[in-house]
A and B are shown apart, each in its own frame.
Chain A
Amino acid sequence: MATVPLDQGLLLAAILFTLGLVGVLARRNLLFILMSLEVMLNAAGVAFIVAGARWAAPGGQVMFILVLTLAATEVSVGLALILLMHRRIPTLDADAGDQLKG
């Protein structure tokens, strides 16, 4: 297996993270905001794996598993909330949340 410089891997993580950030900031649809959040969490996982590979330490993959757990929990609760909100207000607009009452 050929070697990969650490800075190239971290650069990939940084680009993926900022792309996810653009998605969270620019989109109005709640589904797309959740997808962009997944991209950002995945970029954090890439940074952990790259650093773990640099020093051949298992700690990077352990932290990736914890990030994966966080992402799975976040997306299941987030999607349940989207479904619940969609029953009350039939739109996916993130700005429509201010119409919720009590």
Chain B
Amino acid sequence: MNSTFEISAIVAVLATVMTITRASAVHALLYLTVSLLAVALVFFVLGAPFAAALEVIIYAGAIMVLFVFVIMMLNIGDMAADLERAWLTPSMWIGPSFLAVLLAIELGVVVTAGGYGHRAGSVVDARAVGVALVGPYMLAVELASFLLLAGLVAAFHLGRSITRAD
């Protein structure tokens, strides 16, 4: 039993529950950041320090900053939170929660029935990840660069039409 893993896993789940139930976008964003930091701690406990660093830098850093910028640009006031509360009637949650709980039970039974044993107990450091990235996974890295280029072109095109509309 590893209490660091369990505590950070519980924090991650609770923060995610708070994220999907908040009415204010900024509050949800802060809870999501807490959840991502807790997941980074889980990665560190699991012996993946490089992935933990990337989780903090890219997920909790860059992607969350993007969300903050967009919330600032959208100029959401108190009225938006009231509207959100009006949308979030308790009956809205019944159907999706029922289906998702069924799925969670199914997934839980599948992953706990396997008996896959414990982790190997060694740390996979950034050096091993780098060697694998430019070795057997070279094609995947090239595909990721295609994806990033496509995202860059799309974001540039959409951003240009935003400024032209003014």
Contact = CB atoms under 8 A, between A and B. Distances in A.
Interface of A: 1-12, 14-23, 25-29, 31-32, 34-36, 38-39, 42, 45-46, 49-50, 52-62, 64-66, 68-77, 79-84, 86-87, 92
A22 B97 contact: yes
A4 B59 contact: no
B79 to A, nearest CB: 11
Contacts of B51: 45, 49, 61, 64-65
A35 B148 contact: no
B59 A56 contact: no
Contacts of B137: 59, 62
A2 to B, nearest CB: 4
Given A26-B97, A42-B36, A49-B46, A20 B58 contact: no
A75 B66 contact: yes
Most buried by B among A5, A9, A19: A19
A35 B46 contact: no
Interface in B132-166: 132-133, 137, 140, 144, 147-148, 150-151, 154-155, 158-159, 161-162, 165
Interface of B: 1-2, 4-6, 9, 12-13, 16-17, 19-20, 25, 28-29, 32, 35-36, 39, 42-43, 45-48, 50-51, 54-55, 58-59, 62-63, 66-67, 70-71, 73-74, 76, 80, 84, 87-88, 92-93, 95-97, 99-101, 103-104, 107-108, 111-112, 114-124, 128-129, 131-133, 137, 140, 144, 147-148, 150-151, 154-155, 158-159, 161-162, 165
Looking at chain A's contact residues, the main secondary structure is: helix
B155 A4 contact: no
Given A14-B104, A29-B87, A56 B43 contact: no
A92 B74 contact: yes
Given A12-B42, A18-B107, A73-B150, A4 B119 contact: yes
Nearest to B10: A12
A68 B47 CA distance: 18
